[in-house]
């Protein structure tokens, strides 16, 4: 037995780095995986709330009202959506997820009066049937896109990019292409399906304006139209999305999850959610569109604290993806033995692309899919959403707010200089915001 206690690990060539070099040398192909960015980056954890004290008074936790409702899409749409909580479910495709998982997301979201979102692959009857509010994604691949489903949707989300891979498309590997998935996408069973990185019939913000007008015409100006961008040049992207006519802008930070993307893309493209929220709010404010065009923020939202901080920075709502899957049962210890067989462990599993998810969520295998009870999983998601909401209200009341939208940047302080600069709030105990005079 070698005593490893005196061995010095390289910070540059750590064991995971060495293992990745070895893996690359063995296979000649980059690592494709699911989940979001795993490395440490500045996040909402680096902010704290300044609870009420002498200069502010708080609201009573168990007595005084703290409203959480949010209206989405009242800029142009005849039928905006009013959700009961400021937390929505992000787009995740049928194909990447099992039909049971999609149904469970609909059930959980509906129970809490909020929306869920389709994904790349079309709308399933299970999801539509169980979703009180369903946002229909309009993606470059247009898999499963048809005007009938477009009219069944409660809102339309034009996806320009996502936080895990701004500027990237996707690939659903052949092992997840069942007969049903293939049929919905008009492609043969079992082949790798590429999701394009650009829309096939428009390029740039001027075209997008025309495209949005077309979607409004097709749906008789009823549906709110969202534009989703991966966080990168966020100030400009949000400005252009507003100019193009979006009712709602969705900004997805680099912690946002994916079902299948190159690791190098996930970890090295895009900016964290924290600075993206500030940049998006600045764009809205500069155009006098803050609270007129709603901002939904996603990417690494885990707790009511994250929700409340995003709202305090100026978002109207947040969206969750990875956390929702975990609430359904992803990475649960009960499947530890099976995770081990796949060479991983509960808490680390990220090979969503392989279609062998023991929890029955990121798979099309009928046997694995059946493990997920949509009713029970939906209840777990509703429970989790309820906790996020209660936590958000707790923090809002502590800051004296009767509506979660009354939270403001003045309620926040940063624990690190980086977070202070990125979020645009003072370093705790000072008036200093790096980058501002």
Partner 1 sequence: MASFDLADNTVRELNKHLHGAVTDKVTVDNPGGKHSVAVGATDAHQVEINGNVGYYCAGMNAEASVVVNGHAGPGLAENMMSGRVHVTGSASQYCAATAHGGLVVIDGDASSRCGISMKGVDIVVKGSVGHMSAFMAQTGRLVVCGDAGDALGDSIYEAQLYVRGTVESLGADCEEKAMRAEHKQALQDLLDAAGVTGVSVDEFKRYGSARKLYHFNIDNASSY
Nearest 10 degrees: CA dihedral of 159, 175, 265, 331?
90
CB of 167 vs partner 1, minimal distance in Å: 16
Rule CB under 8 A: choose which of 50, 187, 287, 417 binds partner 1. 187
Residue 141 or residue 363: which is nearer to partner 1 going by CB? 141
* Residues in contact with partner 1, shown as a per-residue x/- string from 19 to 58 under the rule CB under 8 A: --------xxx-----------------------------
Residues paired with 297 in a beta bridge: 251, 318
CB of 403 vs partner 1, minimal distance in Å: 36
Residue 23 or residue 436: which is nearer to partner 1 going by CB? 23
Distance CA 105, CA 98 (A): 11
DSSP string, 216-238: HHHTTT-S-EEEEEESSSHHHHH
Residue 194 or residue 341: which is nearer to partner 1 going by CB? 194
Distance CA 188, CA 193 (A): 9
Distance CA 405, CA 86 (A): 9
Residue 201 or residue 286: which is nearer to partner 1 going by CB? 201
CB of 363 vs partner 1, minimal distance in Å: 19
Angle between the N-to-C axes of helices 234-243 and 204-218, in degrees from 0 to 180, rounded to the nearest 10: 40
**Segment interacting with partner 1 (CB under 8 A) among 94-102, 179-187, 229-237, 359-367:** 179-187
Contact call for residues 89 and 102 (beta carbons, < 8 A): no
Contact call for residues 71 and 316 (beta carbons, < 8 A): no
Task: Answer yes or no whether residue 147 interacts with partner 1 by CB under 8 A.
Answer: yes
Rule CB under 8 A: choose which of 44, 94, 136, 202 binds partner 1. 202
**Which residues make Cβ contacts (< 8 Å) with residue 88, sequence separation at least 6?**
109, 114, 115, 116, 117, 135, 296, 317, 318, 319, 320
Residue 191 or residue 387: which is nearer to partner 1 going by CB? 191
Residues 288-317 that bind partner 1 (CB under 8 A): none
Q: Which stretches of 161-229 are DSSP H helices?
A: 179-185, 204-218
What is the total count of residues that contact partner 1 (CB under 8 A)? Answer: 34
Rule CB under 8 A: choose which of 19, 194, 292, 436 binds partner 1. 194
Rule CB under 8 A: choose which of 17, 191, 334, 376 binds partner 1. 191
CB of 57 vs partner 1, minimal distance in Å: 51
Residue 169 or residue 434: which is nearer to partner 1 going by CB? 169
**Which residues make Cβ contacts (< 8 Å) with residue 120, sequence separation at least 6?**
91, 93, 95, 96, 137, 139, 141, 143, 159, 170, 172, 195
Rule CB under 8 A: choose which of 56, 111, 142, 180 binds partner 1. 142
Task: Answer yes or no whether residue 210 interacts with partner 1 by CB under 8 A.
Answer: yes
Residue 83 or residue 184: which is nearer to partner 1 going by CB? 184
Rule CB under 8 A: choose which of 196, 197, 417, 433 binds partner 1. 196
Distance CA 122, CA 136 (A): 8
Distance CA 134, CA 132 (A): 7
Closest CA to 101 of 330, 319, 349, 385: 330
Rule CB under 8 A: choose which of 186, 345, 370, 402 binds partner 1. 186
**Which residues make Cβ contacts (< 8 Å) with residue 233, sequence separation at least 6?**
none
Closest CA to 131 of 171, 172, 91: 91
**Segment interacting with partner 1 (CB under 8 A) among 68-76, 96-104, 188-196, 367-375:** 188-196
Residue 31 or residue 373: which is nearer to partner 1 going by CB? 31
What are the residues binding partner 1 (CB under 8 A)?
A: 27-29, 141-142, 145-148, 150, 171, 173-174, 185-188, 191-192, 194, 196, 200-202, 207, 210-211, 213-214, 217-221
């Amino acid at each position: 037995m070698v005593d490893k206690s005196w061995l010095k690990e390289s910070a540059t060539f750590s064991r995971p780095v060495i293992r990745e070099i070895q893996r690359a040398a063995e296979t000649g192909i980059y690592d494709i995986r699911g989940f979001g960015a795993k490395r440490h980056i500045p996040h909402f954890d680096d902010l704290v709330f300044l609870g009420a004290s002498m200069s502010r008074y708080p609201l009573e936790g168990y007595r005084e009202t703290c409203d959480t409702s949010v209206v989405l899409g009242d800029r142009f749409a005849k039928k905006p959506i009013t959700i009961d909580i400021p937390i929505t479910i992000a787009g995740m495709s049928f194909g990447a997820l099992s039909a049971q998982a999609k149904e469970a997301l609909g059930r959980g979201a509906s129970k809490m009066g909020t929306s869920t979102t389709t994904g790349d692959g079309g709308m399933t009857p299970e999801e539509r049937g169980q979703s009180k509010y369903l946002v229909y994604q309009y993606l470059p691949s247009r898999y499963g896109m048809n005007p009938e489903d477009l009219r069944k949707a409660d809102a339309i989300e034009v996806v320009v990019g996502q936080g895990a891979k701004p500027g990237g498309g996707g690939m659903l590997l052949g092992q997840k292409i069942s007969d049903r998935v293939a049929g919905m996408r008009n492609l043969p069973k079992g082949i790798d399906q590429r999701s394009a990185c650009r829309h096939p019939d428009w390029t740039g913000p001027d075209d997008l304006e025309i495209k949005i007008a077309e979607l409004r015409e097709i749906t008789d100006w009823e549906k709110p139209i969202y534009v989703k961008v991966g966080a990168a040049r966020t100030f400009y992207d949000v400005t252009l999305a507003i100019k193009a006519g979006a009712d709602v802008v969705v900004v997805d930070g680099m912690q946002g999850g994916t079902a299948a993307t190159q690791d190098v893309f996930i970890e090295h493209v895009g900016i964290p959610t924290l600075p993206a929220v500030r940049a998006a709010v600045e764009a809205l404010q500069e155009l006098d569109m803050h609270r007129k065009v709603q901002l939904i923020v996603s990417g690494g939202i885990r707790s009511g604290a994250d929700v409340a901080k995003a709202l305090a920075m100026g978002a109207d709502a947040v969206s969750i993806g990875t956390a929702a899957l975990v609430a359904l049962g992803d990475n649960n210890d009960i499947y530890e033995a099976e995770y081990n067989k796949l060479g991983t462990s509960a808490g680390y599993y990220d090979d969503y692309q392989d279609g062998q998810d023991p929890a029955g969520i990121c798979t099309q295998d009928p046997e694995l899919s059946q493990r997920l009870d949509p009713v029970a999983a939906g209840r777990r998601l509703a429970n989790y959403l309820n906790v996020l909401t209660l936590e958000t209200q707790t923090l809002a009341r502590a800051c004296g707010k009767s509506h979660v939208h009354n939270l403001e940047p003045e309620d926040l302080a940063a624990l690190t200089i980086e977070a202070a600069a990125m979020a645009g709030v003072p370093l705790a105990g000072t008036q200093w915001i790096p980058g501002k005079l």
